[in-house]
Amino acid sequence: MSEGGAERPSGRMSQTPTDILPYEQLLEQEDLATRVPGRTLSSPAKGLLVSVTLMALGVIGLSGGGAQTSVGALVNLSPGIVWTLPFQLFDGPPVLGAPVLALAPPGQTQIQDQYLSLPLVQRLQATPDVVFLRFGLPNQSKPLGLSTLSCILFKGLAGSGLEEVVRPYTPVSTNAEIGTFTLLVKVYPDGAMSGFLGAMAIGARILATHTDKNVKEQYPFAATEVAMIAGGTGITPMLQALQALLGNSSDTTRVTLLYSNKRESDIIARSTLGEWLGGWHDRVRIVYTLSREPTTSSWVGRRGRIDRRLIEEWVPPPSANVLVFVCGPDGLYEAFTGPRQGEYSGILAEMGYAESQVVKL
Ligand SMILES: Cc1cc2nc3c(=O)[nH]c(=O)nc-3n(C[C@H](O)[C@H](O)[C@H](O)COP(=O)(O)OP(=O)(O)OC[C@H]3O[C@@H](n4cnc5c(N)ncnc54)[C@H](O)[C@@H]3O)c2cc1C
């Protein structure tokens, strides 16, 4: 994914020393406790309970999990498709806690259209190449105040020519978080901005801005069925949407997430997704698909990229009740929606989804 207008960097941004806190400390933070208004978060034990109950009903079979410690609960619902059911034992502690509904209308965020310098206040290594970053806000007594499906832009200087680099990032925290906001960032070894973010020390600062152009669909979404087509870091706006969809105990919207990654180890926030899906399996389904997982690995889920057939299989057909959110690398937009900042075209248009039913995030 890249933001239109942002120059491609010729090199990395200047780095600062790393200062990575142990992952476990995250769970000791009271503000990340798994409290949720209206509905309690499922625990791994509850996920197991759901699995065992369904096994007793003859619905599923358990099979060995991946390279990590997970055990996937799988069911063959149609020939050729293996659907990872929304409950599993977890590959680590969840990063985000329970989903929370904490809305703010557009235009009220603490980060406005002038660049602000924000300090990094906490960092944790979520997976080998994904960092959980928490930034401090100017007003410590207020939340970020970001509306749903919105991103912020970070700016820095890269390379020997110090060219300007601007990249969008979608906070995965909600407005229940006071004085700070959090991001999940995948660090690319040669990434200008993500390399810098991945190496930021506590107290180091980054320039951030946000404009109306960075605001997309607002919750409550005008649909009874929401489909999410996500690739790699494109999961972050989907997590933001899920915070609202699942954090509202009276919401009945059904959600189908098609989530594509190269390898199993690339799946971002898998534990959190497992927790959320475990607690809301009546409303949420997820299909993981891996495009470059070694054939010798123990992955038993779907392989290959998201394609038209997968959409036909899982996404409700075009109707006024359906919204499709899309976020991922440039190629994902080009295939399904046309370029992120270009005209609507591609597979979803060919399948009959109207432009008004498809949201390019
Ligand atoms: C709306 C939106 C929200 C986003 N939110 C987040 C977020 O919350 N967290 C997050 O980590 N990222 C997010 N991104 C992606 C982010 O904006 C950057 O594109 C990403 O961090 C890479 O920037 P970079 O400067 O480090 O890499 P660049 O210097 O631009 O690229 C360096 C190399 O990194 C690799 N690379 C870069 N981007 C991708 C990609 N998307 N897929 C595969 N390989 C890639 C390629 O090998 C590329 O050659 C978002 C993008 C969009 C459009």
- Measured CA to CA, the distance from residue 228 to residue 238 in angstroms comes to 7
Residue ranges of domains in the chain, CATH in brackets: 24-34+102-212 (2.40.30.10), 44-93+219-360 (3.40.50.80)
Closest ligand 1 atom to 171 CA? 8
**What's the pLDDT at 128?**
85
- Asked if the model's pLDDT at residue 71 lies above 70, the reply is no
How many angstroms separate the CA atoms of 231 and 261, rounded? 6
pLDDT averaged over every residue in the chain: 79
Question: What pLDDT was estimated at residue 102?
Answer: 95
Name the residue of 163, 194, 325 whose CB sits within 8 Å of the most ligand 1 atoms, as the mutation to test its pocket: 194
Q: Ligand 1 centroid to 169 CA: how many Å?
A: 9
Label residue 94 by pLDDT band (50, 70, 90): low
CA distance 138 to 298: 47
Write out pLDDT tens, residues 246-267. 999 999 999 999 999 999 999 9
CB atoms within 10 A of CB 88: 27
Atom of ligand 1 nearest to the CA of 185: 11
For CA atoms 59, 242, 342, 182, the dihedral sign is negative
C-beta separation of 260 from 306 below 8 A:
yes
Ligand 1: nearest atom to the Cα of 169: 5
The two tokens of residue 304 are: 């290959």
What are the tens digits of pLDDT across the range 301-341? 999 999 999 999 999 999 999 999 999 999 999 999 999 99
CB 167 less than 6 A from any atom of ligand 1 = yes
pLDDT in the model for residue 53: 31
**What's the pLDDT at 235?**
97
1 CA distance to ligand 1 centroid (A)?
A: 5
Interval between CA 65 and ligand 1 midpoint (Å): 29
pLDDT at 119 over 90: yes
Segment 164-176 mean pLDDT: 95
Does residue 75 have a pLDDT over 90? no
Q: What is the mean pLDDT of residues 334-355?
A: 97
Distance 157 CA to ligand 1 centre (A): 16
pLDDT tens-place string over residues 220-240: 999 999 999 999 999 999 999
What is the per-residue pLDDT for 145? 97
Testing ligand 1's pocket by substitution, the residue of 96, 127, 144, 167 carrying the most ligand atoms inside 8 A of its CB is 167
Pick the residue with more confidence: 48 or 175?
Answer: 175
150 within ligand 1 shell (Cβ under 6 A): no
Ligand 1: residue whose CA is nearest its atom 5: 169
Residues 6+ apart with CB under 8 A from 203: 119, 120, 121
Q: Which atom of ligand 1 is nearest to the CA of 195?
A: 26
What is the CA(2)–ligand 1 centre distance, in A? 6
233 lines ligand 1 (CB under 6 A): yes
81 compared with 177, residue with greater pLDDT: 177
CA neighbours closer than 13 Å in the CB half-sphere of residue 141: 0
User: How much is the pTM?
Assistant: 0.80
Helical packing angle, 270-279 and 44-56, nearest 10°: 60
Query: Does the CB atom of residue 156 touch ligand 1 within 6 A?
Result: no
Instruction: State in Å: Cα 91 to ligand 1 middle.
Output: 24
